Amino acid sequence: MIGGSLAAALKSSGYDGRILACDPNVEEIAVGLEMGVIDDGGRDLAALVAQSGLVVVAVPVLAMRRVFEQLAPVLGERVLTDVGSTKRRVCEAAREAFGRLPANFVPGHPIAGSEKSGVAAANPALYRHHKVILTPEADTTPTAVAVVRGLWQRCGAEVLEMPVDRHDQVLARTSHLPHLLAFSLVDTLARQDERLDIFRYAAGGFRDFTRIAGSDPVMWRDIFTANRDALLDALDDFETGLGRLRAAVEQGDSDAMLGTFDRASHARHYFETLLNQTSYQTMEARQVQYRVSPGGSVKGRIRVPGDKSISHRSIMLGALANGVTEVKGFLEGEDSLATLQAFRDMGVAIEGPHQGRVTIHGVGLHGLKKPAGPIYVGNSGTAMRLFAGLLAGQAFDTELTGDASLTKRPMARVADPLRLMGARIDTAEGGRPPLRIHGGQPLKGIHYDMPMASAQVKSCLLLAGLYAEGETRVREPAPTRDHTERMLNGFGYKVDRDGDLATLQGGGELTSAPIDVPSDISSATFFLVAAAITPGSDLVLEHVGVNPTRIGVINILKAMGADLRLENPREVGGEPVADLHIRYAPLKGIDIPVDQVPLAIDEFPALFVAAANAEGTTRLRGAEELRVKESDRIQAMADGLDILGVETTVYDDGIDVVGKSGDGPSYQGGQVDSLGDHRIAMAFTVAALRADGPIAIDDCANVATSFPGFVALANKVGLELTEVSA
C-alpha cells in the first residue's frame, strides 16, 4: 500500500517518467498495471533496477536486508531510499548487505499509512500534507538527498530531516506505542467470555481508539521487533504514567486525576490543531488571504478579546503562585494557548480555557518540573523573553523555540543581562532562538540600565529576580507597559517603583489572586482607527484596558483630531479599564511625540493607516523597535502604502506618511503582502474602508495569533471582509 500510494501520487502529479514495480506476487503487479499506477513490473529485481535511476524499497523492515543483498551487486550510483518506520534497523541491514552505508542511500519514512494493505489500497493523496522524515548521514551525497526530497515533495509531502536515533525514539512514542496498546486492548477484551456484549455495545471511542489494531499483524510484529529498545523505553514511561493514574483512582485523588485528564485533553486539542494546520507549528504553512471591499462605515458596540500581555502573565504568575488562581477574560489566541500548554508540560494543572475562564493550580516558585521536550511559544516574543527570565532560575535545563518568524527575532537583549545575573544561556547565531537555558545556576540581583525601552526585557529581568539573591533593579529610558509590576504586587510580591526604576527583592513567594483580563487595547486599535477614518462611524469598544503605559494610541489619535472619549472608567484587578467611544472626525497629520512611541509601539501599523487618511504629513521618529517585530513594520507598511498610492519616506527610526483627508477615497485598492505579520494584515484590512477599490492582503494566517474572531467582528461592525484559504 505504501509503495502503491507513492506510485499513484507520482502519476497523479503528472510525473511523466516510467514507474516500475518489483514484487514476488505477480498478482500485485497485475493489480498495479490495471490501476494504472505503474508502467511495468515483475519479479526480476536486477532487470528492473537496470532500467531505473531511483530505487525505493517498500517492504517490511525485517525483509530489508534480503532486498539490500539483492541490490548490492546492481545498485551502482543509483539513488536508493526506503519507507521503513525504524531507521536504525534499516541502516544496520544496509551496512550488512553493502559492507557500508552507501553514500547514495537516503533512509526515509513517510508519516502516513492505513490499516489497509496491498496495491489495491493505494491512495494518491496519502502523503499530501503529511510529513516525510529523511535520516541521511553526514557523508550522504547531497544530490541523493535532493532527489529523494524532490520525490516526496512532488507527492505533496513536507520533508524533514533528523538523526536516526531521534527518529526511532519519536516514532516509538507517537506511532509504535499506540499500535501496541491498541493490539493489547482488543486482544484483552477478545479473550473475555462476555466479549460479544463488550463489542456489541462499544461506543465510538472504543472504535476510534482500536481502529489501528486492524493493521497488518506481520508488519507490526516486524516493527516492534526492529525498534525494540526505543519501544520498551516508551512503554516504561507509559506504565509509569498509568501507575500514577491508577493510584489516583484508587485513592480518590481528584486533583491528580483532573491534572492528568485536563493536561491530556488540551494536549490532544493542541495535536489536533497541528494535524489540521491551524496553529502554532504547522506541517505546511497555511496560506490565508483577506479580501476587503472598499467603503462602508463602522458602527455598534463590541468587545475585543482579552489583553494578550496580561493573559500571558496571568498564566505565568498563577502557575508560580501558591494556591488556585481564577482568570476571567483570558485571550484564547494561539500565543496565549502556547504559554498555557508550556506550563501544563511543566506539571501545572490548569482547567480551561472555557469562554475565557481558566483555573490554575499553582505549584509555587520552585514547583515546576522539567518538560519532556522544548517549550514552543509560537509567534510570541513576549512569551519567549518572559520565559527566559523565569526559566533561568529553575533547577532543570530547558529549550525555548518558536515559529519561523520568531526564530529571526533578536534575543540577546534578554540573554545578555540574564548572563550578568549568572544565568547560562546558549542562543543560535546572531543571538536568535532557540534559547537553551542551563538550570541550576545561582542568580544574583543586578542593577541594569536598559539601553532601549522594552517591557519584555524589564519583565524578563524582574521574573529572574524572583529567583535571585539580593535586589534586582531595572531602569528604563522611557516608560513601558507595567503589567508585570502591577500583577506581581497583586500576587503579594512587592515591586517598588521610583520614577523610571523598578526594584524587587529575591526569595519571596506569590499568593494566588483572581484576575479579570481587560480587552486588549492593541486589538481595539484597529477598530478605533476604522471608526476614526470613516465618515458616519460611531463605535463603542467595551471594557478596554487603559493602563497609562499603553494609551499612546489614544493620545496620538486625539492629537490627530479624533473624536474619542473614555466612558465608565474603573479599575479591575489593579488594571484601569474604560469603554472607548469614537466617532468620525477629520484627522490632521502631526509630529508624533517621542515620549508616546513606547506607549504605542504595537499600534503603529494601524496608526500609519490613520496617517494616510489625515490631512498633511504625519512624522514618526524614535521607533527603531518597529524594525525587529514580527516583521520590519516600518518597511512593510511603507511598501504596502506605496502599492495603494500613499506617499511615504522611510527613515532608520521612523517614517513620514503624507495623508489625504475628505469624504472620498484616500487611495487606491491593490494587493499587499503582510509578511505573515498579524498587525500588518489587520491594518490593511481597515485601510480598505477608504480605498477606491478592493484590497487583497496575503499571508494572514497569523491573525489568529493575537485576535481570534477578527474576521467576524470586522464584518459585524460594517467591513466587508472575506477570508480565503489557499
Residues annotated as catalytic (active site), given as ranges: 602
What is the spatial distance between Cα 494 and Cα 508, in angstroms, rounded to a whole number?
9
Entry field: residues in the chain:
726
What is the spatial distance between Cα 403 and Cα 408, in angstroms, rounded to a whole number?
9
Helices 521-533 & 710-717, crossing angle to 10 degrees? 30
Burial of 437 (0-12, 13-18, 19+ CB in 10 A): buried
Cβ neighbour number for residue 398 with a 10 Å cutoff: 22
Q: Which residue bears the cell 505477480?
A: 26
Q: Is 287 annotated as a binding residue?
A: no
Cβ neighbour number for residue 221 with a 10 Å cutoff: 13
CA distances for 75 relative to 2, 136, 524, 651, 658, angstroms: 22, 18, 64, 60, 67
Q: Is 344 annotated as a binding residue?
A: no
For residues 67 and 48, is the Cβ–Cβ distance under 8 A? no
Assigned C-alpha cell, 89: 534497523
Q: Which residue bears the cell 520525490?
A: 151
Instruction: Look at residues 580, 562, 622, 618 and name the one whose alpha carbon lies nearest to residue 598.
Output: 622
Q: Which amino acid is at 26?
A: V
Assigned C-alpha cell, 135: 535520516
Instruction: Look at residues 316, 445, 314 and name the one whose alpha carbon lies nearest to residue 375.
Output: 316
Q: Which residue bears the cell 488540551?
A: 266
The b-or-e profile of 510-539 (16+ CB within 10 A means b, else e) is bebbebbbbbbbbbbbbbbbbbbbbeebeb
What is the spatial distance between Cα 308 and Cα 390, in angstroms, rounded to a whole number?
18
What is the spatial distance between Cα 361 and Cα 364, in angstroms, rounded to a whole number?
9
Q: Is 114 annotated as a binding residue?
A: no
What is the spatial distance between Cα 406 and Cα 384, in angstroms, rounded to a whole number?
9
Q: Is 308 annotated as a binding residue?
A: yes
Q: Is 456 annotated as a binding residue?
A: yes
Q: Is 679 annotated as a binding residue?
A: yes
Helices 633-643 & 604-612, crossing angle to 10 degrees? 30
What is the spatial distance between Cα 669 and Cα 192, in angstroms, rounded to a whole number?
70
Instruction: Look at residues 411, 276, 297, 94 and name the one whose alpha carbon lies nearest to residue 719.
Output: 297
For residues 435 and 384, is the Cβ–Cβ distance under 8 A? yes
Assigned C-alpha cell, 248: 489516583
Largest CA distance in the chain: 86
Q: Which residue bears the cell 526559566?
A: 391
What is the spatial distance between Cα 122 and Cα 117, in angstroms, rounded to a whole number?
8
Instruction: Look at residues 608, 614, 695, 717 and name the one whose alpha carbon lies nearest to residue 654.
Output: 608
Burial of 548 (0-12, 13-18, 19+ CB in 10 A): exposed
What is the spatial distance between Cα 430 and Cα 444, in angstroms, rounded to a whole number?
26
Assigned C-alpha cell, 474: 531595572
Q: Is 309 annotated as a binding residue?
A: yes
Q: Is 204 annotated as a binding residue?
A: no
What is the spatial distance between Cα 214 and Cα 183, in angstroms, rounded to a whole number?
8
Q: Is 153 annotated as a binding residue?
A: no
What is the spatial distance between Cα 661 and Cα 655, in angstroms, rounded to a whole number?
19
Assigned C-alpha cell, 368: 515546576
Q: Pick out the residues of the known binding site.
A: 308-309, 313, 381, 409, 454, 456, 602, 629, 633, 679
Q: Pick out the residues of the known binding site for phosphoenolpyruvate.
A: 308, 381, 409, 456, 633, 679
